[in-house]
């Protein structure tokens, strides 16, 4: 099922077909705040009212022309302006392939630098999402180039990749702000753990590296992005045992998923941040969410039969 939905996520025919169907749009709204900046700001305000921070994502990936990539950066400038004006508590997350990584590393770096300048002016932070493993090296390279210039940028590491232990060790020594997730793409067994138990064990080991006294001494910050109660319990237990201050890490979850747990963590005094995607390009993001969990597919089918 996972492989099927991940294949669907980059099938152009199905993309066109499903994006035209009203029920698919409605079902996607479970995971996407809406198509406009206003919808995103509304969702962020509602989260903030419950003591939850946000990171907003203007949906889109794998653009093929410089004009499209520049427009994607302009869209980020617009949403950052609105974050400043509306005085909401939100970072922004972006994908490098949306800002031109397929066109060229240098072009992409310059495009993202524009977004970082604007984020700096507004006083907020930009997280570079991690995409499929063909992009990992280039994503880390762009992140490191930008980090040398800007303080307000962080990166994502995926626990399913074998290489991630080395990447986390290097990033801890650099004092990076790292979001740790399990990984959402279809990866071959020579690059990623095929078994979930190994991905989970890797997740816990990498969380502990990020929260360790040595990493903190270098200035590292951990954003623990998962809906998995076992991962969350392991992070909480390690933090309590090692007296990790609550302002040195946060939990992150996706919009519309485990809202009960988001609220519980915020109420218990943990920093909680929700990833708020918005925009017209919801199709691949929505397919990755369906790939993660059969229950999400039933949710969509129920919507279909309700008409
Ligand atoms: P997993 O899918 O292993 O599920 C474990 C348990 O979590 C389930 O048994 C259930 O209890 C709970 N759970 C999971 N999904 C649920 C749902 N929909 N409803 C209810 N319970 C659920 N990936 C990537 O490759 N690059 C990136 O940059 C990012 N960025 C990112 C940001 C944020 C804030 C999050 C939360 C996630 C990402 N991801 C990502 C996605 C990530 O890699 C992963 O695919 C999903 O988070 C699903 O993995 P989990 O760790 O949530 O648990």
pLDDT digits over 89-104, tens only? 999 999 999 999 999 9
Give the whole-angstrom CA distance, residue 85 versus residue 79.
Answer: 10
Checking if the pLDDT of 57 tops 80, the result is yes
- How remote is the CA of residue 228 from the centroid of ligand 1, in Å? 7
Mean pLDDT computed over 81-90: 97
Checking if the pLDDT of 302 tops 80, the result is no
Q: What is the pLDDT of residue 279?
A: 93
**Ligand 1 atom at minimum distance from 203 CA:** 51
The number of angstroms, rounded, from the C-alpha of 237 to the middle of its chain's C-alpha atoms is: 24
Q: What is the pLDDT of residue 305?
A: 64
**Residue corresponding to tokens 């007296």:** 243
**Ligand 1 atom at minimum distance from 183 CA:** 43
**Ligand 1 atom at minimum distance from 292 CA:** 2
The answer, yes or no, to whether any atom of ligand 1 lies below 6 A from the CB of 182, is yes
pLDDT, mean over the chain: 94
pLDDT classification of 303: cutoffs 50, 70, 90: low
In the chain, % of residues over pLDDT 90: 79
pLDDT classification of 22: cutoffs 50, 70, 90: confident
Catalytic residue numbers read 129, 179
The answer, yes or no, to whether any atom of ligand 1 lies below 6 A from the CB of 57, is no
The answer, yes or no, to whether any atom of ligand 1 lies below 6 A from the CB of 275, is yes
pLDDT classification of 124: cutoffs 50, 70, 90: very high
Alpha-carbon distances, residue 108 vs 55, 66, 96, 137 (angstroms): 21, 9, 7, 14
pLDDT digits (tens, 9 = 90+) for 128-146: 999 999 999 999 999 999 9
Long-range CB contact pairs, 272-275, < 8 A, 24+:
272/51, 272/52, 272/53, 273/52, 273/53, 273/54, 273/55, 273/91, 273/223, 274/47, 274/52, 274/53, 274/54, 274/55, 275/54, 275/55, 275/57, 275/93, 275/225
Give the whole-angstrom CA distance, residue 193 versus residue 197.
Answer: 9
Checking if the pLDDT of 216 tops 90, the result is yes
Checking if the pLDDT of 53 tops 90, the result is yes
- Name the residue at shortest CA distance from atom 2 of ligand 1: 292
The answer, yes or no, to whether any atom of ligand 1 lies below 6 A from the CB of 129, is yes
Checking if the pLDDT of 87 tops 80, the result is yes
- How remote is the CA of residue 132 from the centroid of ligand 1, in Å? 15
């Amino acid at each position: 099922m996972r492989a099927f939905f991940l294949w669907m996520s980059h099938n152009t025919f199905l993309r066109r077909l499903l994006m035209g169907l009203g029920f698919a749009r409605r079902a996607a709204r479970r995971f996407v705040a809406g198509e406009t900046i206003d919808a995103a700001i509304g969702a962020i305000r509602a989260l903030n009212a419950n003591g939850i921070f946000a990171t907003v994502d203007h949906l889109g990936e794998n653009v093929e022309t410089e004009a499209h990539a520049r427009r994607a950066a302009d869209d980020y400038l617009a949403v950052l302006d609105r974050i400043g004006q509306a005085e909401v508590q939100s970072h922004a997350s972006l994908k490098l392939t949306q800002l031109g990584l397929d066109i060229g590393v240098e072009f992409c770096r310059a495009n993202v630098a524009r977004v970082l300048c604007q984020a700096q002016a507004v006083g907020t932070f930009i997280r570079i999402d991690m995409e499929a493993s063909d992009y990992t090296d280039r994503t880390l390279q762009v992140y490191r180039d930008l980090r040398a210039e800007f303080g307000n940028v962080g990166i994502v590491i995926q626990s399913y990749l074998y290489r991630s232990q080395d990447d986390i060790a290097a990033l801890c020594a650099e004092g990076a702000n790292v979001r740790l997730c399990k990984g959402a793409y279809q990866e071959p067994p020579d690059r990623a753990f095929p078994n979930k138990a190994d991905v989970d064990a890797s997740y816990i080991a990498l969380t502990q590296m990020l929260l360790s006294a040595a990493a903190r001494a270098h200035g590292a910050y951990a954003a623990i992005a998962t809906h998995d109660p076992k991962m969350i319990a392991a992070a909480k237990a390690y933090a309590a045992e090692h007296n990790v201050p609550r302002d040195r890490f946060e939990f992150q979850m996706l919009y519309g998923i485990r809202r009960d747990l988001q609220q519980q963590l915020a109420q218990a005094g943990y920093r909680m941040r929700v990833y708020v995607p918005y925009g017209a390009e919801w199709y691949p993001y929505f397919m990755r969410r369906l790939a993660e969990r059969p229950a999400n597919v039933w949710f969509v089918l129920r919507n279909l039969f309700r008409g």
